Amino acid sequence: MRLAILSRNKNLHSIRRLLAEARKFRNPAIRCDVINPLECQLVLNGLTRGSGIIVGAQPLPDYDCVLPRIGASITDYGLAVVRQFETLGVCVVNGTRAIAESRDKMRCLQILSEAGIRVPASVLTRSQRGFRTAIESVGGLPVVMKVLQGTQGRGVMLLNAPISLATVHETLQSLEQDVIIQQFIAEGAGRDYRAFVIGNQVVAAMLRTAPEGEFRSNIHRGGEGTLVKLPKAFERTAIRATRALGLEIAGVDLMESRGGPKVLEVNSSPGFEGIERATGLNIAAMIIRHIARRHRLRRGSRR
């Protein structure tokens, strides 16, 4: 089986781990390449059968499966490449639409809440006059403010003093930034669960604790991950959230609130260095196994 991992950087921990596990895999043996999506030229020649992807001067070989690991900074181009693979009939895990919908934090929250999954009260805003109303409608200060495309805790801020509002607002205005104003979940602050979902299963979970003086518990912000048995309600919620977004591989961030589990976001390209270290589980091998299973099912259904 031939697998392409779409990533800009072969040296990332997760890419190296995936390559190592793919190399070990048997039944089927997997030939795995890492392709930089930015080097892909997408060709539509106007005929249904003439579509393709060119890298350098060469057309790409036929792949059975593609695993997009696309960073937030190249979402648009990256998604165009993933879509092209879909057009060519290649099995893609995760799909274009699911990645696009989870990457935009507001779109993700809309889909979750439409599916009846609890999320923190949130308002998308950019208007001058609406800022205060937005803060009031999620319960007043303190609130969390988020940019739509942030990751690893970047672009997630805590607003807790009225005096800072005017300056923050002024800055947003001049940058023409849309932001989400969100209820600060005080009772669970500084802690959240990261559930790693593959297929219909939570395969690993960790509790992340923010360092002293920080409310964001991201590992990249110095948060510490420890192995936990995810409470049943959280497990169910993580699986439902993944399914609602149409993802097969996802990292779901959940917080404990008075009303039960709330989903903060669903990541379509979750890193797994932190969770492998915290849990001792081999996530890379589980991802490769899932892809091989998908490939088998697909081949079976085509026969």
Ligand X SMILES: Nc1ncnc2c1ncn2[C@@H]1O[C@H](COP(=O)(O)OP(=O)(O)O)[C@@H](O)[C@H]1O
Contacts with Mg ion, residue ranges (CB under 5 A)? 253
Binder to ligand X among 40, 98, 111, 185 (CB under 6 A)? 185
Does residue 215 interact with ligand X by CB under 6 A?
yes
Tokens of 216: 């964001």
Residue 147 CB, shortest distance to ligand X, in Å, is: 9
How is residue 259 written in tokens?
């009303």
Torsions phi, psi for 55 (to 5 deg): -125, 125
Cβ-in-10-Å burial (0-12, 13-18, 19+) of 121 comes to: middle
For residue 261, the minimal CB distance to ligand X (Å) is: 13
Residue 145 as a binder of ligand X (CB under 6 A): the answer is: no
> 3-class SS at 40?
strand
264 counts as binding ligand X under rule CB under 6 A: yes
- The whole-angstrom separation of Cα 170 and Cα 263 is 30
Which option in ligand X, Mg ion, none does residue 184 bind, with CB closer than 5 to 8 A by kind? Answer: ligand X
Task: Compute the radius of gyration of the chain from its Cα atoms.
Answer: 20
Task: Report the alpha-carbon distance of residue 104 to residue 112 in Å, rounded.
Answer: 12
- Asked if residue 246 binds ligand X (CB under 6 A), the reply is no
Residue with tokens 């890379």: 284
Please identify, using beta-carbon distances, which residue of 87 and 257 lies nearer to ligand X. 257
Which residue has tokens 């048995």? 229
- Looking up tokens 């399914």, which residue turns up? 243
Choose the one of ligand X, Mg ion, none that binds residue 152, judging by a C-beta under 5 to 8 angstroms depending on kind.
ligand X
Which of Mg ion, ligand X, none has residue 248 at its interface (CB below 5 to 8 Å by kind)? none
Using rule CB under 6 A, residue 265 touches ligand X: yes
Verify binding: residue 21, ligand X, rule CB under 6 A: no
Residues that bind ligand X (CB under 6 A): 120, 144, 146, 150-154, 156, 182-185, 189, 192, 215-218, 253, 264-265
